[in-house]
Amino acid sequence: MDDLGVAVVIEDDADIRNLLEGVLRQAGFEVHTAVDGRDGVEVVRNNKAHVVTLDIGLPDIDGFEVLRRIRNFSDAYVVMLTGRTEEPDLLSALNAGADDYIAKPFRPRELRARVAAMMRRPRYEMNRPQHAPRSWAAAPAAPASFGHALGQTPAGSTSVPAGVLQHNGLVLNYRTRTVVVGETPLGLTRSEFDLLHTLLRGEGAVCTRSDLVRAVRGDLYEADAYISEADERAVEVHIGNLRRKLKEDPHSPCWLQTVRGVGYRLAPQRTDVPARHGLG
């Protein structure tokens, strides 16, 4: 059995807690549990968790506050468990730093698939080495010459650095997981970064909401993965957050263009925005 690191289950319902513990332990995690939010924060802190499952409806403080506290010291993958899938709840969870969510009741197989998808995403951590489990492979690397496809290679240059994507003054560096617009770095969540990266790679092709759900999950090669209406609403929330951070003009977007009834695509190249090149 593979050693996938430490998982923490924060859940007050004993039956669900035992189910989560069993699924994660069987997957190969060392599992610790907590029955309320305050204890859960300390269990995550003391055990340096890689993955956390977090119930929203806890007896002391709600899951949103627990998540905010965890994010003060940990970049663990966090899956929120909720019986509610309304957009305000999704928005609160994603803004607080959740990586994914599952609506109750859930299937154990779905939980394991969601956690596996999260752990396939590349991680770039400052304080501990990247955790690369053997059974769940990392996501594929970004292409090295995307700038040529956009027609943005500056005069006199022969190539764009590997993993660097440019469009209308925005530069995304896949290797360092950074995004800069002009001279301003953007603080994006993992899901926001993955969505932006997918749209940039699309070179203007339409990405359906289902396509983008798979990009967020890491299931780019699993065409038959189940996509729920709540999953698609979560993508819309992420796109809305991206637009706010990019300060997009809704009447003349530079980067994110809605295709009504279908999904999203990269906005056309603009000649009034200078290209940038060679960011590390």
| Within-domain flag for 273 | no
pLDDT at 92: 72
Same domain? For 75 and 168 the reply is: no
Same domain? For 104 and 162 the reply is: no
pLDDT tens digits, one per residue of 35-91: 999 999 999 999 999 999 999 989 999 898 999 899 899 989 999 888 765 556 666
DSSP code per residue over 98-147: -SEEEESS--HHHHHHHHHHHHHS----SSSPPP--SSSPPPPPPPS-HH
| Within-domain flag for 206 | yes
| Within-domain flag for 60 | yes
pLDDT at 219: 57
| Within-domain flag for 272 | no
Same domain? For 154 and 111 the reply is: no
Same domain? For 215 and 155 the reply is: yes
DSSP code per residue over 155-208: TT---PPTTEEEETTEEEETTTTEEEETTEEE---HHHHHHHHHHHHTTT--EE
Same domain? For 116 and 71 the reply is: yes
| Within-domain flag for 152 | yes
Give, for 260, the enclosing helix (H) or strand (E): none
| Within-domain flag for 274 | no
pLDDT at 97: 76
CATH number, residue 247: 1.10.10.10
Same domain? For 104 and 34 the reply is: yes
| Within-domain flag for 65 | yes
Q: How far apart are the first and last CA of the chain?
A: 38
AA letter at 52: V
DSSP code per residue over 59-81: SSS-HHHHHHHHHTT---EEEEE
pLDDT at 271: 73
Same domain? For 52 and 95 the reply is: yes
pLDDT at 147: 37
Same domain? For 154 and 232 the reply is: yes
Same domain? For 252 and 177 the reply is: yes
Same domain? For 71 and 160 the reply is: no
Residues of the chain predicted below pLDDT 70: 1-2, 84-91, 121-162, 218-226, 272-280
Same domain? For 209 and 115 the reply is: no
CATH number, residue 24: 3.40.50.2300
Tokens encoding 224:
């038959």
What is each CA distance from 63 to 66, 69, 83, 221, in whole angstroms?
5, 10, 12, 32
Same domain? For 59 and 106 the reply is: yes
Domain boundaries, position 186: 146-266
Helix/strand/coil percentages in the chain, nearest 5:
35, 20, 45
| Within-domain flag for 131 | no
pLDDT at 159: 53
* H and E: helices and strands count for the chain: 9, 12
β-pairing verdict for 100-103 and 77-82 = parallel
**279 contacts 166 by C-beta, under 8 angstroms:** no
Please say whether the dihedral angle defined by the alpha carbons of residues 7, 230, 246 and 149, taken in this order, is positive or negative: positive
Give, for 57, the enclosing helix (H) or strand (E): none
Report how many domains make up the chain.
2
